[in-house]
Structure 1
């Protein structure tokens, strides 16, 4: 076995210790209860010895009832202590699982967009659900029994050596090889455990994609293709799980066989000793009873090692996400926006490079958006429009240069203050499985129904919302797929304006609207854009008409800034770009 890897896995499990501190009292109580039940279990054979070598051998039953009652009392106490152990451990184990899951969720919310671009949602889902369930089971059962069963084995062997060194030696000889066998198969199982958990994450991703994209799959008749992909991934997972079972089967065969051989050897030597007079019947029966009692601690070695490996793998996967660096954070000494702020937005020498990219996506952006002004960003695909808008609410941070609002660097503001001042509507409207009211109010705290309705009016969404079965209380299905594209986009737009932001960032918010609805939303937007500073990514000539000025991007640089009419008259590249946008709009 790789000692360094084993040490690393132990260290990974030890990282759970801070989570266990608040519940250590209950865990210690649970361990004490199990130890107490172990003592009761190991004491019963000693009482049996007294019965056989005392009242039975002497044919005197006077003390027999008391000894039998002692066995019954010990057995009852053992059962009660097991019940107490379960009662004590269930609450703390679920509490630790809940805290781990909460910390993971909060960490995911703070991680930069670049992280989520790299990770499959199914992998994150499997870590937040199945991996943490594995850790809960290990905390509730595995770690307790790993300690207690080890102590039980040591105590049981000690009792056997006290009863008869020969019986103790036989048991030790048959138990020692289990440690070597278990160690050999532990490393194989750990590799398979990690592989199966990663494959389960891939399978979850496939299921999620097929559910979210069900309309596309049905429309293009690709359901069978994805089903074949799912079947292939499920088959690979099954193969890994079967390989895990084969490894465990060999381990379990050894775990079951060796103790049985030990009991057979104990009967042989013990019976010979009884015949020769070197051992009493009570000692033999007590020794075999102790050895039988040690079967569970011995048999559990394979299960506990498998559970430990599963838990260590789950822990590794959990900390892979938790250790991901949060690059967008609140400043140590935050500033506040001026009380009389007007929403002036400036980009000063802005550069941006995605992690792992060879060159900058944005290269020296300088742009001044005056208070109350709307600037449309245009450019070919990949020119950096969406990246530029992401820097304003700090979905990512600039590589060089700075972005300011009313003269304050956005990195000097707390994220709460910044995202209260800046609202965003994305090209792909994301809605949640909640009511219309909850989806719209997501953009601001303490929003009243009147504010929600005003935002819906601005987004030209009030009429269709009122026509929904329960109005504002109508629950929207997952991703809002029960609504049309235009309806989803209008709700996302209402969410952006409901909080009355100073700066509004719109990433082509009109792309899913039909011509009639687009004209209505544009009319409403004109009124709201008069009061805010706005940066609008435009893929349609009609969207450009909303802006006071237009900034044209090419290759990560701003190559032209001016009013639409001036650029149209004097900039050949702008005319060419606009004609392309015209053709795309006609084709759609």
Structure 2
């Protein structure tokens, strides 16, 4: 017996974390308010559920009438009336069943649509730190798979419970009307059904929790592996990835078999109990028939009603298993909904003008990532003035990109503050703040849509003329026109149907059309070759003109004309000044410059670039 109920979980390597356990009642209370828009329709569905078993009861009763009033006394003249009544009941029952089933599906699917959208919208309120920590594949598995199980707990579960209880009450009443002694004997088996269901319910919940966890692990491995297909093929790791996927798949097989063992054992035990009950009742029924306390038609109909009674009793037992299985999925959704963003807009934000002036001030900022013990930034202070370019440079790992995340308020500083036009970013509405910022990142982020869709992501209400003007300013219009479908050409997932330079020019066009007073450039040329980077410089110049520009880079070619260069070393500012001043200091910046440009002089007397021009 231990083998039948033994959990499948053995090798937990790569297995996603289990969600905290909750009682079914708490799970139901959590999601019942989401069913509020559908409660009126649910009541109508319950009304249809109430009518259906009444019609079934009447149809079975006609079977008794047929035997006792037509066949036994050979009164065949009454047969047409019985047949007509049966046909009428069948037609009405069919219409009720159709309406009930369609209405149930309509309610369930619309509820799932609302809930799925709610979870998806909630995910977009979470901070970037959540996505840095969590496995996207598991999150997708919860969003697509686990959400569906909640409907069977909140709506279908209510309807099925109501339907089963109505049938139990109706058929029990008819049984007592036919023969109270037989009815009492038949009810002896009901508590046994309940005990068996309780025994299996918790074990099914544990097995279902493991199945959902394994499903999340499979999605995680698939998302990671397929999303990095070029890397995997380049390093010849296809076999290793297939084995990693197969390992999680084998774990899922074991989990499904464990759940199947528990579920499959439930039905035979219930069948055995049901047969035992029917045999006992049949024996007592024969005794009652011999004593003329029940007719033959009454006994036969009693057995039919008894089978109809055991069906909803069995359904209630199976429903408890379904509910506990759904609760395991609901726990995973609740864990997502209970996540709270690390940064939030204040309840009463200080209003920004429609277009900010663009003065950025970083005031004694220190920062460490959540869950870590080491500061990434230490007491960083500088001011980026409107219309000027501030460059933040340093070796890899110096904290440059972390600074970008603070300026966008993806995170809040551990100490110190970041101000826009003299207002702490924490006092501003995040949507209003980010509406004043355009970004061009090292990893060009494009959506799987058309080129027009990706440019208009910067400003959804832009006109067609503004779209083309932005593309022309980014030197993208010409290559777009050469594409088969022009601006309606699809770029593929993450823009992979375009070259690196084309993707970057679309990102520049997106920033152009946004026309924000603040521009953040995070390593905008790092992923490009020398020729492509050179071609990008001209549209970058046009984009930077007249804006507060913060350039994050270790490629000094793109920052030499900045009015202010900040040199970061292991999270601290060690130098600040113009390109010429920092070369004259002959310190960290000059050393980095010599590493990138060994053929160019660096130090006192080195020629500086003309102010306001990027080098060619």
Q: Same fold (TM over 0.5)?
A: yes
Residue-pair matches, total: 580
Shift of 1:424: 1.4
Shift of 1:155: 3.0
Moved more, 52-61 or 305-314: 52-61
Are 2:92 and 1:77 aligned? yes
- How far apart in 1 are the matches of 2:527 and 2:22? 55
- How far apart in 2 are the matches of 1:97 and 1:169? 42
- How far apart in 2 are the matches of 1:187 and 1:299? 17
* Contact 1:361–1:555 under 8 Å retained in 2: yes
- What is the match of residue 253 of structure 2? 238
* Contact 2:129–2:342 under 8 Å retained in 1: no
Shift of 1:135: 2.8
- How far apart in 2 are the matches of 1:318 and 1:576? 52
Shift of 1:62: 4.7
SS at match of 2:521: strand
Shift of 1:571: 4.2
- What is the match of residue 169 of structure 2? 154
Map Cα deviations across residues 12-41 of structure 1 (whole Å, 9 max, x no partner). 122222221111111111111112111121
**Aligned match of 2:118 in 86, 103, 119?**
103
- What is the match of residue 15 of structure 2? none
Give the TM-score normalised by structure 1: 0.93
Moved more, 148-157 or 574-583: 574-583
Shift of 1:8: 2.1
* Contact 1:350–1:365 under 8 Å retained in 2: yes
- What is the match of residue 445 of structure 1? 460
Are 2:446 and 1:456 aligned? no
Map Cα deviations across residues 118-143 of structure 1 (whole Å, 9 max, x no partner). 11111111122112223345556443
- How far apart in 1 are the matches of 2:321 and 2:289? 41
* Contact 1:104–1:128 under 8 Å retained in 2: yes
1:449–1:514 Cα change, 3 Å: farther
**Aligned match of 1:89 in 84, 100, 104?**
104
- What is the match of residue 52 of structure 2? 37
* Contact 1:441–1:452 under 8 Å retained in 2: yes
* Contact 2:355–2:517 under 8 Å retained in 1: no
* Contact 1:171–1:259 under 8 Å retained in 2: no
**Aligned match of 1:28 in 43, 46, 49?**
43
Alignment of structure 1 residues 253-402 onto 2, 5 Å: 253-338=268-353, 341-402=356-417
SS at match of 1:367: strand
- What is the match of residue 143 of structure 1? 158
Map Cα deviations across residues 368-403 of structure 1 (whole Å, 9 max, x no partner). 111111111122333221111112222222233221
- What is the match of residue 586 of structure 1? none
- What is the match of residue 172 of structure 1? 187
Alignment of structure 1 residues 423-572 onto 2, 5 Å: 423-572=438-587
- How far apart in 2 are the matches of 1:301 and 1:412? 54
* Contact 2:31–2:154 under 8 Å retained in 1: no
1:340–1:163 Cα change, 3 Å: closer
Shift of 1:581: 4.7
- How far apart in 2 are the matches of 1:140 and 1:85? 13
* Contact 1:526–1:546 under 8 Å retained in 2: no
Unaligned runs of 5+ in 2: 6-19, 599-616
* Contact 1:45–1:287 under 8 Å retained in 2: no
* Contact 2:178–2:294 under 8 Å retained in 1: no
- How far apart in 1 are the matches of 2:501 and 2:172? 74
Map Cα deviations across residues 258-285 of structure 1 (whole Å, 9 max, x no partner). 2222222222221232123233212211
Map Cα deviations across residues 442-476 of structure 1 (whole Å, 9 max, x no partner). 01231223333333334333332222211111111
Map Cα deviations across residues 169-205 of structure 1 (whole Å, 9 max, x no partner). 3322223212111111111111111111121112112
Give the TM-score normalised by structure 2: 0.89
**Aligned match of 2:143 in 124, 128, 131?**
128
Shift of 1:336: 3.1
Are 2:424 and 1:409 aligned? yes
- What is the match of residue 52 of structure 1? 67
Shift of 1:582: 5.2
Shift of 1:92: 2.0
Moved more, 444-453 or 62-71: 62-71
- How far apart in 1 are the matches of 2:531 and 2:307? 82
* Contact 1:37–1:79 under 8 Å retained in 2: no
SS at match of 2:303: helix
Shift of 1:503: 0.6
* Contact 2:398–2:568 under 8 Å retained in 1: yes
1:128–1:246 Cα change, 3 Å: same
Structure whose residues are more often helix by fraction: 1
* RMSD (Å) for aligned C-alpha atoms: 2.3
Shift of 1:76: 3.0
Are 2:231 and 1:216 aligned? yes
Shift of 1:112: 0.3
- How far apart in 2 are the matches of 1:445 and 1:412? 26
- How far apart in 2 are the matches of 1:437 and 1:141? 43
- How far apart in 1 are the matches of 2:568 and 2:119? 38
- How far apart in 2 are the matches of 1:572 and 1:182? 76
Unaligned runs of 5+ in 1: 584-588
1:369–1:268 Cα change, 3 Å: same
Moved more, 401-410 or 93-102: 401-410
